[in-house]
Amino acid sequence: MNVRIVFGGASSRIGMALCACAVAVLAAAPFWAGRDDLFLLSQIYCYLALASLWNLLAGYAGLVSVGQQAYVGLGAYVLFALAILAGVSPLWAIPLAGVFSAAIAIPVALLVFRLRGHYFAIGTWIVAEVFRLIASQVSMLGGGSGTSLPAAVIVGIAPSRQLRDFIIYWIALGLVVAIVALIVLLLRSRYGLALKAIRDSELAAICNGIDVKRTKFLVYCLTAFGTAMIGALIFLQRLRVSPDAAFSVNDWTAFVIFITVIGGIGRIEGPIVGTVVFFALRQTLSDFGALYLLMLGAVAILVMLIAPKGIWGLVVERFGWQVFPLERKVVLDAATVARE
Amino acid sequence: MEWVNVILQGVLVGGLYAMFAAGLSLIFGVMRLVNIAHGDLIVLAAYLALVTTETLGIGPLTALVIVVPVMALIGYALQRLVLNRTLGDDLLPPLLVTFGLSVIIQNGLLELFTADSQKLQAGAIEVATVPLASGVYVGVLPLVQFAVAVAVIAALQFIFYRTPLGRAFRATADDAQVAQLMGLDNRHVFALAMALSLAMVAIAGVFLAVRANFDPSQGPSRLIFGFEAVIIGGLGSLWGTLAGGLILGVAQAIGAHLSPGWQILAGHIAFLIILAVRPEGLFPKVRA
């Protein structure tokens, strides 16, 4: 008997087609959007990437970290250090920041994996605080008040400001597409099966022979790699870094968690929906200042209490839609069925 | 003599950290909930004390009579109305909801009181000192604060092991379902634990506000100090938590003495070293 495994169904074929169209339209944005719009879109991509990575970490591997700002800041600082002190082109510094941070994530993981559950969460936060305090001791990068990228480095990216904006925009789009695609591929692989098993029940996963610790370790380092590249890019776009901004728990962890939970944790589509909601709220309510953040916190609490699976969780329950082809179905070949 | 002074200051501050930690430890012990908003609630208590002292014209220590019950009520209501609904096998809901709460408290205080730093004035007691030995003077206020910290921990120890309420706490901590079968109302027991935790938060908040400047953004670092004290001392042991607070305070004092930029970092490093060599803490009662 021939048995095949197929991924997804009609909704994910439509979903992937729509995604491809959206990426094509967005890739052409420099030709139809203004400078402010490009800047806003790049920010959206960065948050989408951070939320997707956190979703992989917390939603699938069960590693609820509140210290991902450690890698955003580390990525940013590695980029500034390489560009200012070693004369490396900032564009090359982005992947290097990712590699360096993934290497740092190894000893960090060995340490914080000693803590479980909630204690793991706060342990990761302390690591981020340690990074922030160390960064503010580095006087070559401006210490506590931070530093700016020198004009020579900025001009080195591209001679005109417009071209620089375009390049950074395309890198942001390329990175977010690459990160989401990698997560989809990872989840379709055998590691994906392991991760889903861990997500549903850690004990059952261990009983089925999954090396839970190793899988979690790999996901932690992989997430550090992606998060640091995004961090490097965010601060390359800002042209200025400071310890408080780069290692901010609110900007790089609280909002990212809110986005993921509002959209729907444990689903690839969740962070996408959450990012759209987050930026829609931000664009309409940002005039309210602190009140806006207060409302965001309240919305996140309400979603968690009323619909813990998030907006996309409700959509899946109601319509069964799936944008990304992840669900496995066992199909018997037509020939086999006919013979029986 | 210089170092004796440094270590003494560290020990006295450590009492405050132990107070931050005791409430956190109680909540985790009874219902496996880590309250991310714990530090922000400490700052909230400080602002509550500020408003009380300014409107009634009373001293900060007298204000405790009002701030402690108000915070306890807030804790009871918070647990009954919000946090009880998040408890379960999944650790994300309580984490996210208390994270949201932390953002709400921080920004609410920012909106009401601005980002300016504030301080409570306790009057003459602030500058009064007593000589301990030749050349070693300690402030009366830090000494009072330390004595209160020890008393609070002792009181909590007494409640936990010698009273019916403590028996209910221990029963739900061991097995919430069986405790319910034995006639305990878990929702009520959890709410009482949170009320007790926030009563301690109130005491810690007032002493924090008398000791140093505070502003709405300070909560997270108070949470982290409390958390470090809990882990250094070992989970489930209240006297361990006091020891953890003292070790953290001394580490910070030594760091600050070496270089001002090293104060907080030295505390974190002490925590990480203990995590690396003795992850169960120095005086563990239960395994993490």
Walk me through the domains of chain B, giving residue ranges and CATH numbers. Answer: 2-115+133-277 (1.10.3470)
Contact A291 B272 (CB under 8 A): no
Average pLDDT over residues A84-97: 93
Residues of A in contact with B223 (CB under 8 A): 122
Chain A touched by B111 (CB under 8 Å): yes
Contact A122 B223 (CB under 8 A): yes
Q: What is the pTM of this model?
A: 0.91
List, in order, residues 6 or more apart from B131 with CB less than 8 Å away.
B137
Top residue of A115, A133, A244 to mutate, by most chain B CBs within 10 Å, is A133
Residues of B in contact with A261 (CB under 8 A): 92, 96
The confidence band for A33, taking pLDDT boundaries of 50, 70 and 90, is confident
Among partner residues A64, A130, A305, which is closest to B92 by beta-carbon distance? A64
pLDDT of residue A286: 76
Q: Where is A328: in which H helix or E strand? A: strand A328-332
Top residue of B78, B79, B92 to mutate, by most chain A CBs within 10 Å, is B92
Q: Which of A44, A53, A16, A29 minimizes the C-alpha distance to A273?
A: A44
Q: Which of B115, B114, B202 minimizes the C-alpha distance to B152?
A: B202
pLDDT of residue B288: 38
Residues of A in contact with B36 (CB under 8 A): 66, 122
Tell me how far apart the alpha carbons of residues A71 and A80 are, in angstroms, rounded to a whole number. Answer: 14
Q: Where are the beta strands (DSSP E) in A43-182?
A: 147-148
Chain A touched by B184 (CB under 8 Å): no
Are A62 and A203 spatial neighbours (Cβ–Cβ below 8 Å)? Answer: no
Chain A touched by B82 (CB under 8 Å): yes
Q: What's the mean per-residue pLDDT of chain A?
A: 89
B167's tokens: 């028996």
Q: Which of A268, A265, A215 minimizes the C-alpha distance to A61?
A: A215
Please state which CATH number belongs to domain A3-339: 1.10.3470
The confidence band for A1, taking pLDDT boundaries of 50, 70 and 90, is low
User: Letter for the amino acid at A174?
Assistant: G
A285's tokens: 């309510």
B134-B136-B137 Cα angle (round to 5): 115
Residues of B in contact with A245 (CB under 8 A): none
Chain A touched by B70 (CB under 8 Å): no
Q: Which residues of chain B have pLDDT under 70?
A: 286-288
Residues of A in contact with B99 (CB under 8 A): 66, 254, 257, 297, 300
Q: Judge whether residue A213 has pLDDT over 70.
A: yes
Q: Judge whether residue A337 has pLDDT over 60.
A: no
Domain boundaries, chain A: 3-339
Tens digits of residue pLDDT in A264-302? 998 899 999 999 999 998 888 878 877 888 888 899 899
Q: Which of A31-45, A216-230, B6-20, B132-146 has the lowest mean pLDDT?
A: B132-146
Q: Judge whether residue A36 has pLDDT over 60.
A: yes
Residues of A in contact with B221 (CB under 8 A): 129
Among partner residues B91, B100, B288, which is closest to A300 by beta-carbon distance? B100
Closest-CA distance, A269 to chain B, in angstroms, reads 19
Tens digits of residue pLDDT in A16-28? 888 888 888 888 8
Tell me how far apart the alpha carbons of residues A281 and B246 are, in angstroms, rounded to a whole number. Answer: 45
Query: Three-state DSSP class for B133?
Result: strand
Compute the count of residue pairs across chains A and B with CB atoms less than 8 Å apart: 124
List, in order, residues 6 or more apart from B29 with CB less than 8 Å away.
B169, B173, B235, B236
**Chain A nearest-CA residue for B259:** A137
Chain A residues at the B interface, defined by Cβ less than 8 Å, are 58, 64, 66, 111, 114-119, 121-123, 125-127, 129-130, 133-134, 136-137, 144, 249-250, 254, 257-258, 261, 265, 289-291, 293-294, 296-298, 300-301, 304-305, 308
Residues of A in contact with B104 (CB under 8 A): 294, 297-298, 301
Top residue of A104, A119, A201, A299 to mutate, by most chain B CBs within 10 Å, is A119
Q: Judge whether residue A183 has pLDDT over 70.
A: yes
Closest-CA distance, A320 to chain B, in angstroms, reads 24
Residues of A in contact with B107 (CB under 8 A): 290-291, 293-294, 297
Residues of A in contact with B101 (CB under 8 A): 297, 301
Tell me how far apart the alpha carbons of residues B287 and B25 are, in angstroms, rounded to a whole number. Answer: 14
β B136-139/B129-133 pair status: antiparallel
